Amino acid sequence: MIEFINFYLFPALTIGSIYALGAVGISMIFGILRFAHFAHGDLMTLGTYGILAAAAILPVNPLLLIPFGMVLTIVSALLVDRLFYQPLRALPTIYTVISSFGIALVFRSLVQLIWGSENQVFSTGVKPPLVLFDTIRVSVLHLQAIVATAIIAVLLHFFLSRTRTGRSMRAVADDPELAEVSGLDTAKVVRWTWIIGAALAAIAGAFAALNTSAHPNLGWNLLLPMFAAAILGGIGKPMGAMAGGFLIGLAEELSSYHWIGDDALISPSYKTAVAFICMIALLIFRPQGLFKGRLL
């Protein structure tokens, strides 16, 4: 049981947090701007390197430097939207989707150009885990990631349900034409979508890089499970994307626990596949996703 908590549950929740934070942006952009944003993973990478750059100058806990990464991703996202996505908005969305593929490559190449293609670590050495009640061993970073994601989920919920901007965002996601004729400021909604998506991407990137190491393919490698999480939760439903992220993370890690007998239930080599089977199964029985998102 202790082994389950230490080596399966906490890591699963951490991976889930990273997926959840990334998936929120993907889901909101999908819901409000109506296209699959393939550059989201690389936006995460960009944020990570922004933090890394700040860490080279300021020797404090990298978590305190996350705002630097957030500023970098927000500015980049708004700039890219203005220069590359907005001119294509009147065309069929496939143009924007392909354009976002290009932007993904641009982000990755910029990171390679500026920071190099090597793996970089935030700090050398292994930190001893936190030991609770003499038995539960949990890495401090994992605890920070899980708690931070929980707080963000609560704040996001209040933002979307209590503030005027948040409510406008939900309205545009649910029915863009109706929102437009009711006089909602769509440009403002679009701006806030990017700001929130990009800020959360920077946080997700920071946790992913702290958990392992920073490299230019960091975000790209996470893109597929994050899309799975967004679709699982329901397109355009940020809370759904959060839940989807945790579900995908839990499904991946827990499928290899030895539930029956002494052997792993499913060989860890196949854990990515498990997450996708969950997503496909859910889509067959409930195509709108967990939280009644848009039908694609």
Partner 1 sequence: MRKLTTFVAAAALLGAGSAAFADDTKIGVLMDITGPIANFIPPLQNAANLAVKQVNDQGGLLGGTAVAVYGDTTGTAQGAVDAAQKLVNIENVPIVMGSLMSGTTIAAAEAAIIPAGVAQISPTATSPAMTDLQDDGLVFRIVPSDNYQGEILAKMVLADGLDKVALTYVNNDYGVGIGQTFQAAYEAAGGTITASNKHEEKKDSYRSELASLAKGEPQALVVIAYAGDSGGKIVRQAIEGGLFTKFVGTDGLRDELLIENVGADALKTSFFSSPTSPAENPAQKTLHDAFNAEYGEGADKAFVDQTYDATFLALLAIEKAGSTDRAAMAQALRDVAMAPGEKVGPGEWAKAVALLKEGKDIDYDGASGNAEFDANGDVGGYIGKFVVDGDGYKQVEIVE
Q: Which residue ranges make up the site for partner 1 (CB under 8 A)? A: 3, 6-8, 11-12, 14-15, 18, 112, 116-119, 121, 124-129, 137, 139, 208, 211-213, 215-217, 221-222, 253, 256-258, 262-264, 267-269, 271-272
User: Within 13 Å and on the Cβ side, how many CA atoms surround 263?
Assistant: 3
Taking the C-alpha atoms of residue 47 and residue 71, their distance in angstroms, rounded to an integer, is 8
The nearest distance, CB 53 to partner 1, in angstroms, is 18
Question: Closest Cα partner for 5 from 212, 206, 143?
Answer: 143
Q: Which is nearer to partner 1, 102 or 287 (CB)?
A: 102
Q: Which is nearer to partner 1, 125 or 183 (CB)?
A: 125
The nearest distance, CB 196 to partner 1, in angstroms, is 24
Q: Which is nearer to partner 1, 119 or 182 (CB)?
A: 119
Distances (CA, A) of 100 to 88, 94, 103, 191, 282: 11, 10, 5, 17, 27
The nearest distance, CB 103 to partner 1, in angstroms, is 15
The nearest distance, CB 72 to partner 1, in angstroms, is 21
Taking the C-alpha atoms of residue 230 and residue 23, their distance in angstroms, rounded to an integer, is 5
The nearest distance, CB 64 to partner 1, in angstroms, is 22
Q: Which is nearer to partner 1, 116 or 287 (CB)?
A: 116
The nearest distance, CB 119 to partner 1, in angstroms, is 5
Question: What are the DSSP calls for 242-263, one per residue?
Answer: HHHHHHHHHHHHHTTS--SSSS
Q: What is the DSSP letter of 47?
A: H
238 touches 102 (CB < 8 A)? no
Say what angle helices 271-285 and 238-254 make with each other, to 10 degrees. 130
Q: Which is nearer to partner 1, 112 or 144 (CB)?
A: 112
Q: Which is nearer to partner 1, 46 or 222 (CB)?
A: 222
Q: What tokens appear for 233 in the block?
A: 């939760």
Say what angle helices 140-162 and 238-254 make with each other, to 10 degrees. 150
Q: Which is nearer to partner 1, 146 or 235 (CB)?
A: 146
96 touches 35 (CB < 8 A)? yes
Taking the C-alpha atoms of residue 178 and residue 175, their distance in angstroms, rounded to an integer, is 6
The nearest distance, CB 212 to partner 1, in angstroms, is 5
